Amino acid sequence: MTVAIAKLLGSEEWRREHKVSTITSTSPGVVRMGVTRLAVLLGGRDKVGRPVVVVTARNHSLIGRDMDDMTQYMVHVLVSVCTLDENTASKIKFVKTETIGEHFDPSILSSDM
């Protein structure tokens, strides 16, 4: 029980710190970072039904980027993904490019990814 309470409190602290309740798709930082395609929430699902977010490393440069915008954008993407999937135990999985086919059909990716 203590571990669960600590995780819940940590989550609530994180949500307050990053002002999650105020971030929407029209928030200035989300709009500014959205054009970079740093992270793209795909319409498809992986092989076990989870939503898919592609983070393209080549788009992930800090040069000329506002860290507040970047944080706001990534928080928005993560919260958006979490609201799409009720399976909270295995919500986020990081995969390497060479193993993508094990997790979802690569044909759902756009040609520029």
> Which domain, by its residues, includes 86?
20-108
Q: Could you give the number of structural domains in the chain?
A: 1
User: What is the pTM (predicted TM-score) of this model?
Assistant: 0.64
3-class SS shares of the chain: helix, strand, coil, % to 5: 55, 10, 35
Render each residue's pLDDT in the chain as its tens digit; 113 residues.
588 788 778 888 888 888 888 999 999 999 998 888 788 888 778 787 777 888 877 767 777 788 889 888 888 888 887 777 666 545 566 666 777 777 777 676 666 55
Report the alpha-carbon angle 85-98-113, nearest 5.
65
* Residue 2 covered by a domain: no
Tokens (6 digits) for 42: 């795909």
User: How far is Cα 55 from Cα 1, in angstroms, rounded to an integer?
Assistant: 34
* Residue 4 covered by a domain: no
* Residue 96 covered by a domain: yes
* Residue 61 covered by a domain: yes
User: How far is Cα 31 from Cα 83, in angstroms, rounded to an integer?
Assistant: 20
* Residue 95 covered by a domain: yes
